[in-house]
């Protein structure tokens, strides 16, 4: 699957799934491969396809923008680094405000310290750089040459080398400054020892319960980024409850499988024994209303029997059950940390159990035992082949409807057969040649005059299309294809395609399905390459009329 996608991609770009790139001299990707910034080993790299239209004007406009962004990013990156190495200017940044250069912190924190007049000077210099040169298309400034010969050179070769280096450094600086901003915003500095960032909001909770090696404090969704202790404790309280319920639910799945169920009656009045209640999701419909009432009453008791307002022991999960906690603070911390970890594992486990139970009827066990699962309904149908078996990632058959399955199978067969004919229609004329004589004597159109592939659409006369449509209609109406008929299952009585022997017929129909699926993929690939290059295969150098040229 990966290989064929790669082939489609290379074929669509170059006209062949392999071969020497040096042969594809007219590809639109070659239009800019000698521009500044094209460097080994990557070469010209444009994964987003901005240059696919081959527009030189658009390329130069983007290059002008790239240069500006790169230069600003290099200045910004050096603005982070230089004060750390050389120190800051002596004296005052703003004598009137009594603000020294040394008073301005490095990085993002400086934004609020620089006075308005300082920002005005920065903006004025940026405006000067923009308006002091004519940067219209075709001018030296549009290409980044502002006449500063330190940055460029009067020697063309040296100038090219320096401008290429500038582009490369600018690209690196754009990545670097974004990384610096990110780290600075999170930790208060763009580098250094994490242990020094004691004021970072990420440090607020790193000594809380549940912070374990090797991950440490892990909050990829950024829920604690605001540093709010109140919000953290509220979420921790919720996490504890969910974890405890999930641990009970997980054990509720496991325990009856190991120890068996209680003897006697769950509901004597209803004559319902504990043994009559199945394990897992199937129990939901078996437990009587009074049983659900008891479950809900116990949950309500746990909620209201303790004061769980912020700051209370119960809000932190301590309900006074010293089996779960301990009078020894160190042992209590250890047990509560273990409880959090086990609760997190149980939350994952119970969701997995629910998923498997809903699909198969049990949270574990031998798949061969789940004979009533809707997934088993079609696993012996034609087209189920090793090693994948019955494969339905989109879940079309999850409802277990035989009627829907057969309707989709009928459609799949037709699409597969048409695709096989279309694929062979591409291939056969290339190998055997075309019919001799005239396709349309009245129009003077020979078979040899009709090109192969998509280009034939405009060449075939109307009468030819009429014959094609008439044959398709004949195939549709010449047989009864209503549900349950042989034709609905794809058997139109052509015993070359099937067989009178049931085993041989099954084998051939399975092969037909597999070949039809392959042909559906193949014909889409052929259409794609044909639409891009003018042919479904061959040498890119021959496709001189392709819109990509």
Sign of CA dihedral 192, 197, 201, 205: positive
Residue 259 CA: distances (Å) to CA of 44, 262, 275, 317, 354:
66, 9, 12, 29, 21
Binding-site annotation: residue ranges for chlorophyll a: 239, 242
3-state secondary structure 159-180: HHHHHHHHHHHHHHHHHHHHHH
Look-up: residue for tokens 């489609």?
Answer: 8
Binding-site annotation: residue ranges for chlorophyll b: 244
In the DSSP assignment, the letter for residue 284 is G
Binding-site annotation: residue ranges: 239, 242, 244
Q: What is the DSSP string of 241-260?
A: HHHHHHHHHHHHHHHHHHH-
Strands 265-267 and 445-446: unpaired
Spatial distance between the Cα atoms of 67 and 142, rounded to a whole number of angstroms? 10
**Backbone phi, then psi, for 93, in 5-degree steps?**
-75, -40
**Contact partners, residue 419, CB within 8 Å, separation at least 6:** 516, 519, 520, 522, 523
**Backbone phi, then psi, for 474, in 5-degree steps?**
-60, -45
From the list 522, 524, 547, 525, the residue with the least C-alpha distance to 534 is 547
- Residue 74 tokens read as 């290099």
Spatial distance between the Cα atoms of 537 and 513, rounded to a whole number of angstroms? 25
**Contact partners, residue 440, CB within 8 Å, separation at least 6:** 461, 463, 464
């Amino acid at each position: 699957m990966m290989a064929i996608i790669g082939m489609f991609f290379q074929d669509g770009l170059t006209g062949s799934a392999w071969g020497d790139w040096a042969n594809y001299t007219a590809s639109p990707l070659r239009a800019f491969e000698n521009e500044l910034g094209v460097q080994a080993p990557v070469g010209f790299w444009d994964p987003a396809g901005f240059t696919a239209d081959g527009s030189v004007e658009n390329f130069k406009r983007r290059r002008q923008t790239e240069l500006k962004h790169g230069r600003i990013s290099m200045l910004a990156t050096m603005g982070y680094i230089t004060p750390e190495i050389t120190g800051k200017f002596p004296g005052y940044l703003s004598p009137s405000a009594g603000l020294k250069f040394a008073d301005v912190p490095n990085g993002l924190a400086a934004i609020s310290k620089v006075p308005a007049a300082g920002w005005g000077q920065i903006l004025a210099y940026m405006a000067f750089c923009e308006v002091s040169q004519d940067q219209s298309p075709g001018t030296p400034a549009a290409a980044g040459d502002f006449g500063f010969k330190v940055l460029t050179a009067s020697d063309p070769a040296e100038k090219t080398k320096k401008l290429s280096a500038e582009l490369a450094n600018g690209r690196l600086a754009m990545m670097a400054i974004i990384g610096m901003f990110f780290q600075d915003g999170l930790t208060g500095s763009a580098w250094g020892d994490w242990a020094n960032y004691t004021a970072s909001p990420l440090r607020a909770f790193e000594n809380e319960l549940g912070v374990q090696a090797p991950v440490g404090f892990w909050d990829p969704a950024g829920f604690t980024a605001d540093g709010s202790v109140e919000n953290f404790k509220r979420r921790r309280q919720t996490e504890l409850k969910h974890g405890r319920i999930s641990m009970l639910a997980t054990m509720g799945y496991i325990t009856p499988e190991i120890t068996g169920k209680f003897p006697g009656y769950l509901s004597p009045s209803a004559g319902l024994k504990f043994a009559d209640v199945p394990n897992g999701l199937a129990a939901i419909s078996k437990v009587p209303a009074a049983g659900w009432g008891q479950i809900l009453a116990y949950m309500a008791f746990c909620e209201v029997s303790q004061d769980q307002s912020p700051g209370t022991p119960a809000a932190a999960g301590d309900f006074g059950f010293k089996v779960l906690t301990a009078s020894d603070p160190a042992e209590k911390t250890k047990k509560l940390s273990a409880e959090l970890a086990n609760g997190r594992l149980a939350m994952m486990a119970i969701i997995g159990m629910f998923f498997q139970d809903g699909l198969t009827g049990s949270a574990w066990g031998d798949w061969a035992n789940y004979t009533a699962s809707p997934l088993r309904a079609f696993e012996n149908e034609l087209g189920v082949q090793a090693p994948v078996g019955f494969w339905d990632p989109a879940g079309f058959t999850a409802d277990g409807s035989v009627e829907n399955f057969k309707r989709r199978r009928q459609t799949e067969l037709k699409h597969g057969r048409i695709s096989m004919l279309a694929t062979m229609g591409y291939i056969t004329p290339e190998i055997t040649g075309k019919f001799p004589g005239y396709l349309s004597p009245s129009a003077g159109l020979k078979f040899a005059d009709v090109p192969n592939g998509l280009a034939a659409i405009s060449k075939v006369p109307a009468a030819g299309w009429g014959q094609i449509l008439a044959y398709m209609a004949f195939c549709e109406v010449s047989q009864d294809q209503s549900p349950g008929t042989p034709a609905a299952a794809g058997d139109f009585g052509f015993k070359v395609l099937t067989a009178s022997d049931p085993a041989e017929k099954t084998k051939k129909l399975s092969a037909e399905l597999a070949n039809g699926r392959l042909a559906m993929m193949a014909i889409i690939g052929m259409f794609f390459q044909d639409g891009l290059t003018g042919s479904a295969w061959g040498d890119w150098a021959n496709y001189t009329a392709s819109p990509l040229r």
